[in-house]
Structure 1
């Protein structure tokens, strides 16, 4: 559970840095520009349940930017679903720019740049906005990706019908943060994903049921958290409210054990980073650490076993090939 509030006794710049650090850590790296830094105040309450992060954000007016420079391969790939409770917000992404009024809900994608312009409204003596945001790993909504791409940054009113019930559920969930929300685990996450899909596509999300559906969700969770060095069967089981024994049994029919799959995906991410000319200044050990692997000799051995070549030799060959191709393209 995250519960952060700016300290009124701190300097305006310190409050901004604290707000930006907590927001970037909870959601994804981003920049925050307050409309009046002297009056800046903010509070973020957030809790993880079944792989989804539910958050309640209240702040004075500000603009949030996620530029290309903020986006990296180590970020969690998530959709953000936001319900505007008070104040107004202008959301911009993929060439769309839309104003959200209280009661509107919208979705945007953290894998691409976006801008959120929060405009406060007067509430008694305080000027603030309130937004409820749910961060949902993109694989959870993968079957609906094509439809969601068409509604990115387009507000949907929730003032009547089923969507009004969805908005009420989101608000009630935010009000209960810090109590027993996390106990809902994967079952609550399933309900939230269904509501999100219905809200933006007009139909139920396409998911598999039972053991297969749970295995898919766990796989998506692991993919989104490969950079976490603490990712382990025990952590995965605890997050999804199942036993380690059941986790092993769930993946017993797969081609390889879950731990071996996680290792192979980390090696694949390392391989991709070694091919990236922009990361040429980083050591192999630093790149491996980006993906949760800190034992350099072990990484070298497993990389050679997987690809038949050492990480350093692979990088030299990949960068040389890229340089030659670039020169030919210029010529």
Structure 2
């Protein structure tokens, strides 16, 4: 379901205030500098949700959005911002470097990195807000991606760009439960593209994600739901001894049992908060991710997150933002 908000009915001064407030509530706080007189400020934003992903399709008058160093520590959840210009280019500046994002490209910036996004002709852009932890990329990799543009001339980028463009422009895909079911595959597709870039590596992987430690971590990730995922099986799949397996992972700061348990708990946590799994019993979600004993799962979950699975699901459902409540302040 989509929600449309626009400034047309507001007074000029109210438009300026309302746009800043809307962006803060839909994404995270930014400073908004309008590049036209107050009376010429215009904005139309269409919002939709795909599980934990927020889509904003924005059409505005010329504007600059600035995320300051002070604001990056404001406690808002780390968010990867995926920018798909439709007909107008924009510029993103971070760390003293400026990059142009053109129609056909994929622009990337991170809420925890100071940046300035300038739209000299106004925004006509699809913006996807993706919880950064969902991508399972290291903090270093995410920071390296911040303020970059993936060119649409690259075949892999073009495929991913076309996919997200279809999400943004196909009304049938934005209806529930289809939209919620597309969230996971969408994140995984983007993650695959980003992890393949030089310098970008999965959480826990070594300097090169295609070296053996990186391949082992990727194997673990693919088989998290397999109840037969054991250290011996992992070692045999990579033609190393158990001792070598532990040494290889230990060099990357990965303790095998702890890592697998943490990753499985995180998958459960995400699905408990996902509207697409709202009707599924907690025990079924836990069992899918390798927790056959409900009591053990409940204790492990509370130890990791400080609340029980039931409490987490209730709180996540209650606080789940919905485009329908993203109304401008007046």
Measure, in 2, the Cα distance between the counterparts of 1:239 and 1:94: 39
Measure, in 1, the Cα distance between the counterparts of 2:108 and 2:174: 26
Tell me, yes or no, if the aligned pair for 1:144 and 1:197 is still in contact at 8 Å.
no
Give the Å deviation of 1:134.
1.6
Measure, in 2, the Cα distance between the counterparts of 1:18 and 1:30: 13
Measure, in 1, the Cα distance between the counterparts of 2:18 and 2:113: 24
TM-score (norm 1): 0.63
Specify which of 135, 138, 156 is matched with residue 162 of structure 1: 156
Measure, in 2, the Cα distance between the counterparts of 1:45 and 1:59: 12
Give the Å deviation of 1:145.
3.9
Cα gap change, 1:101 to 1:196, in 2 (>3 Å): same
Alignment: residue pair count: 246
Measure, in 2, the Cα distance between the counterparts of 1:182 and 1:145: 32
1:195 paired with 2:195, answer no
Give the Å deviation of 1:69.
3.7
1:263 paired with 2:306, answer yes
Measure, in 2, the Cα distance between the counterparts of 1:6 and 1:243: 37
Q: Which residue of 1 aligns with 2:280?
A: 243
Q: Deviations over 1:263-285 (max 9, x none)?
A: 369xxxxxxxxxxxxxxxxxxxx
Look up the SS of the partner of 1:28 in the other structure.
coil
Give the Å deviation of 1:14.
0.5
Runs of 4+ in 1 over 6 A off after TM superposition: none
Match runs of 1:168-187 below 5 Å: 168-176=162-170, 180-184=174-178, 187=181
1:70 paired with 2:113, answer no
Q: Which residue of 1 aligns with 2:145?
A: 151
Q: Deviations over 1:72-91 (max 9, x none)?
A: 45312111111122211111
Unaligned runs of 5+ in 1: 121-127, 223-232, 266-291, 293-331
Unaligned runs of 5+ in 2: 203-217, 227-262, 309-317, 319-330
Measure, in 1, the Cα distance between the counterparts of 2:163 and 2:112: 27
Alignment RMSD:
3.2
Give the Å deviation of 1:108.
1.3
TM-score (norm 2): 0.64
Give the Å deviation of 1:118.
0.9
1:57 paired with 2:87, answer no
Bigger shift: residues 52-61 or 25-34: 52-61
Look up the SS of the partner of 2:306 in the other structure.
helix
Q: Which residue of 2 aligns with 1:91?
A: 92
Tell me, yes or no, if the aligned pair for 2:61 and 2:123 is still in contact at 8 Å.
yes
Q: Which residue of 1 aligns with 2:266?
A: 216
Measure, in 2, the Cα distance between the counterparts of 1:8 and 1:102: 26
Cα gap change, 1:25 to 1:218, in 2 (>3 Å): farther
Measure, in 1, the Cα distance between the counterparts of 2:18 and 2:91: 24
Measure, in 2, the Cα distance between the counterparts of 1:244 and 1:72: 36
Give the Å deviation of 1:182.
4.3
Measure, in 2, the Cα distance between the counterparts of 1:179 and 1:209: 28
Q: Deviations over 1:61-114 (max 9, x none)?
A: 100011134344531211111112221111122332111111111211101221
Q: Which residue of 1 aligns with 2:12?
A: 12
Tell me, yes or no, if the aligned pair for 1:47 and 1:178 is still in contact at 8 Å.
no
Measure, in 2, the Cα distance between the counterparts of 1:209 and 1:13: 55
